[in-house]
Amino acid sequence: MPRRFGSPCTLSRTRDGLIEGIAILPIRILVYGFGVYRSFKENVTEKIIRRLPRRRRLAKVIFPVRFHRRQFIDAVRKHDPEVVLGLGQCSRGTRLRIERRALNRRSNGKGEKPKPIVRGGPRQLPTRLKLNLGPAARLSRDAGDYVCNYSMYVILDHLKRRRGPVRFGFIHIPHDFEPRKAGRILVKAIGKIAATL
């Protein structure tokens, strides 16, 4: 279920080493991830999001992995964020991937030929949130054609139609990436976002 948390940004550590920071958030931020899917019994993004500290202006949402436009649009409308940051799990690689664009294509990955997410829509939509996650991350221009890319395109298309100032970013995280390390990187990123907007 969606949760509201949130609230400029001091850092402290919990016993398990996770940075608890983000004492005060001057902006509304929606962070989302996904639940289990396919052969994966766990999703690293769900672990990371559940470890994030509860704050008044930080909303955390875990979506089921499915092509369902309404679930993404409803979350944006409900929480009315100024920043949206999506997290997705990837099956390969060792570094975080900062996705720079969403492509207008979707596929269930079971031999299905990719088809448009929005018929007649732009071939790609760029993300507008600048993220600097250090050496643990790299830039990517291909988010695939599964539900991560789908969520990106659907939300970016919705924000484009609204013509609002909301900034959107997306990070792919390897399935075997250490959740506490990813959590610390993410909390620092949220602090930087809040300080620069």
Domain boundaries, the chain: 3-196
pLDDT tens-digit map of 6-57? 333 444 444 444 445 555 688 999 999 999 988 888 999 999 999 998 888 9
Residue 27 CA to residue 84 CA, distance in Å, equals: 11
Q: Mind listing the pLDDT tens digit for each residue in 149-185?
A: 999 999 999 999 998 899 999 999 999 999 999 999 9
- Residues 116, 104: contact at Cβ < 8 Å? yes
Length of the chain: 197
Average pLDDT, the chain: 88
pLDDT of the residue at 21: 55
Mean pLDDT of 106-123: 92
For 105-111, what is the mean pLDDT? Answer: 87
Instruction: Say what percent of the chain tops pLDDT 90.
Output: 72
Is 3-196 CATH 3.40.630.20?
yes
Could you tell me the pTM of the whole model?
A: 0.88
Q: Residue 20: its pLDDT value, please? A: 53
Question: Does residue 171 contact residue 137 with C-beta atoms inside 8 Å?
Answer: yes
How far CA 3 is from CA of 39, 54, 55, 122, 150, in Å, comes to: 27, 9, 9, 32, 22
pLDDT at 36: 92
pLDDT, position 80: 96
Instruction: Using the predicted structure, report yes or no on whether residue 137 has a pLDDT greater than 80.
Output: yes
Three-class DSSP category at 67: coil
The structure tokens listed for 188 are 């620092």
